[in-house]
Amino acid sequence: MNELFRSLGIDSACRADGDLPVHSPIDGRCLARLRSHDEAHVARAIEAAQHAFVAWRSVPAPRRGELVRLFGNELRANKELLGRLITIETGKILPEGLGEVQEMIDICDFALGLSRQLYGLTMPSERPGHRMMETWHPLGVVGVISAFNFPAAVWAWNTALALVCGDAVIWKPSEKTPLTALACQAIFEKAARGFAQTAGAAPVPAALSQVLVGGRETGELLVDHRSIALLSATGSTRMGREIGVRVAARLGRCLLELGGNNAMIVAPSADLDLALRAILFSAVGTAGQRCTTLRRLIVHREVAPKLLPRLKDAYASVCIGDPLEAQTLVGPLIDRVAFENMQSALSAMTAAGARVSGGERVLSERFPDAYYVRPAIVEVDEQDDLVRKETFAPILYVLPYEDFDHAIAMQNDVSHGLSSCVFTNDLREAEKFLSAAGSDCGIANVNIGPSGAEIGGAFGGDKETGGGREAGSDAWRNYMRRATNTVNHSRELPLAQGISFGAIH
């Protein structure tokens, strides 16, 4: 383990005697004890980031893109090591850990191209001899607060775009996964050193990217500081409510990526082989700890007798175990609290009369200090408040439907609006699902599960999912400020709306 840390540039001096223990969910062992950053350190970091921003904003955007290109190359060189650390620190299986690093590489490639495409508009003026246009300028210091389940990719989504847009970034990772953040920062610093060696390049400002280690209190310092121009936060809806109010109180900007109670509709015409594979990955991947995890399966009554036995067989055969082992498909929950929340939800469903399959703890003798569970299938007759509540664990609620409009209504009848999908070969059903009368989620798919988004499309959702969008599309505008400019190239001074204000003689 020490060799892995050294290879990724994590200083041994910061890992031994701190107040913040970091445990691996694989076996519960303590990986490190980090020192939390205090209020004075946070204040200094924000001040340094502001100075870095002032220098970086004047670097041409294509040159800023060159830094991100070099960062992507360093991620390629360290993909295996960083992916392994992600697995050790989060418990997700190694292919998912490696996939997360690939997401980081992909967003660097995307941001590199974007560095030459930060387009504004030119629009006609109603005044003769005038030209109007909009221009986009760097915003300032961006604060990023990330969750444990994607300890690197979400930061990269924000950081790659923020850097090409001319911003500085301060990152407060989850206190459950700070080692991955320290490794990412070390990799970035290596790219920054390479940038300074390229022809004609000035050094990267020292505080352009920083990591703050700590718990809730550290994050709150970022949330409340007026020099944080944009606060991008990923986490629970409860957290988002608190952050949104506090950032709004200082009239700041925030980008919120919160929970999701995601559904799949399986119609009579669906390809059940395809649907089965999509259900399995979407519902049990990452041990059900993705914001895009499939949590509700809305199945037509004609289809359920064919699909559910096959689904239960697939659940029974899925390999649960050490996520570093090749055959494993489901690793552990992040900690005991996650396990207790899952058991509480299942107990409530059982008491309400639901039919529960799975959900029990497994491998406790091999891993007494870790929390492995068998993914659960919960069959219910109707959608109640228990089903509408998101539980961050591998629980799949199965609900029947007869009318497609009713299925869409059930899909939308939750407080979140992140991801959704329908499996159908009926063109009318597919198009209706994607229409204004269909899914109300930020992500709506046909014949593909709700999980596993690509960086080319804007990621995020509405309602209690927070309304934020990261990656893809025009998400770069989050990290810039817009100015409308009017140039008078005439010798007259007409006013807009034809207003006459007399003359000066």
Say if residues 377 and 360 touch (Cβ distance below 8 Å): no
Looking from the CA of 16 toward its CB, the CA atoms found within 13 Å total: 4
Contacts of 419 (CB under 8 A, 6+ apart): 260, 262, 291, 292, 441, 442, 443, 444, 445, 450, 451, 453, 461
- Phi-psi region at 133: left, alpha or beta (left = phi > 0; alpha = psi -120 to 50): beta
Reply yes or no on whether 257 is catalytic.
Answer: yes
Residue whose token pair is 């191209």: 113
Of 149, 174, 146, the C-alpha closest to 20 is 174
Spatial distance between the Cα atoms of 362 and 368, rounded to a whole number of angstroms: 10
Say if residues 90 and 151 touch (Cβ distance below 8 Å): yes
Q: Which of 108, 254, 291, 421 is catalytic?
A: 291
Q: Could you please report the per-residue DSSP string of 190-221?
A: HHHHHHHTSTTPPPPPTTSEEE---SHHHHHH
Spatial distance between the Cα atoms of 219 and 36, rounded to a whole number of angstroms: 11
Spatial distance between the Cα atoms of 470 and 458, rounded to a whole number of angstroms: 6
Say if residues 330 and 375 touch (Cβ distance below 8 Å): yes
Q: Which of 66, 220, 257, 379 is catalytic?
A: 257
Spatial distance between the Cα atoms of 136 and 479, rounded to a whole number of angstroms: 10
Spatial distance between the Cα atoms of 230 and 232, rounded to a whole number of angstroms: 6
Of 170, 181, 176, 124, the C-alpha closest to 148 is 176
Burial tier of 97 (Cβ tally within 10 Å: 0-12, 13-18, 19+)? buried
The catalytic residue positions are 257, 291
